[in-house]
Amino acid sequence: MKTRILLIALAAVALLSSCCGQGQECCQQGNEQANGTIETIMARRSIRKYKSTPVSRDTLNVILECGINAPNGQNRQSWEVRVVDNPATMEQIKEIMAQANPDMNPAGVKGCFRDAPVMLFIARDPSYQFSAYDVGLLSENVMLSAWSLGVGSICLGMPIRFIAGNEACAPVLDMLAFSEGYELCLCIGLGYADEAPEAKPRDMGKVKFLD
């Protein structure tokens, strides 16, 4: 328990002081805006190439605690997360999915996970109207806290397309063992980045102030 508190404290310090480089230009426009949280948000990118270096469970626990501390409707915590960091288990899941989608190139199906060494499978409680938002907010906390600790991430909708509603993928859902009624909703890959992609453009025109 003490170790976990220490790790969370260290993560908080890292979050406040992190400087991943790519977001600095934005943050330095005004000194009053420069802080670690903004830098982390602006520097995070989706990572699709990973080193094989494993992510320690201590680090993963910090990231996951940040995830479940996301705001969520009525604090129902209408999510469940399964963490797969064992390459053999991940390979088993990929193999079932490849066989369950015979019309697809098996390498393409397996590639939907982007070879991230850690995969989070996140399910939601569909009986709660806002559970998809809860999952989204948890996911963002996961990805930002990961980035602040030097761990890259990728949010993945594609695996859900291959698994959801596909009877032949039932063994995958059995392995994940979510609670009765929960629906697989999103995956997040985590690992140490082996690429440094440029930021994709964003359209500030989508935001308007009302005078």
Q: Say how far apart CA 43 and CA 160 lie, in whole Å.
A: 27
> Which of residues 5 and 207 has its CB atom nearest to ligand FMN in the complex?
207
Shorter beta-carbon distance to ligand FMN: residue 21 or 157: 157
State the minimum distance, in angstroms, from the CB of residue 107 to ligand FMN: 15
| DSSP state letters, 76-128 | ---EEEEEE--HHHHHHHHHHHHHH-TTS-HHHHHHTTTT-SEEEEEEE-TTS
In whole angstroms, the minimum distance from the beta carbon of 108 to ligand FMN comes to: 12
Distance CA 120, CA 189 (A): 6
Residue among 12 and 158 whose Cβ is closer to ligand FMN: 158
- Given the complex with ligand FMN, which of 30 and 201 has the nearer CB atom? 201
**Contact flags string 131-160 toward ligand FMN, x per CB under 6 A:** -----------------------xxxxx--
Q: What's the min distance (Å) between Cβ of 156 and ligand FMN?
A: 4
Q: Return the ∠ at Cα 48 (arms to 78 and 204), rounded to 5°.
A: 70
Q: Residue 180: which H helix or E strand, with range? A: none
Helices and strands, number each (H, E), in the chain: 9, 4
Nearer to ligand FMN, 11 or 156 (CB): 156
The structure tokens 């409707």 sit at 73
Window of 30-38, 41-49, 70-78, 120-128 that interacts with ligand FMN by CB under 6 A: 41-49
Task: Pick from 46, 61, 77, 166 the residue near ligand FMN by CB under 6 A.
Answer: 46
Q: Between residue 187 and residue 206, which ones bind ligand FMN under the rule CB under 6 A? A: 200
> What is the Cα Rg of the chain in Å?
18
Min dist. Cβ of residue 189 to ligand FMN (A): 9
Pull the structure tokens for residue 136: 């989204």
- Say whether 21 sits in a helix, a strand or coil: coil
Binding site for ligand FMN (CB under 6 A): 45-46, 48, 154-158, 200
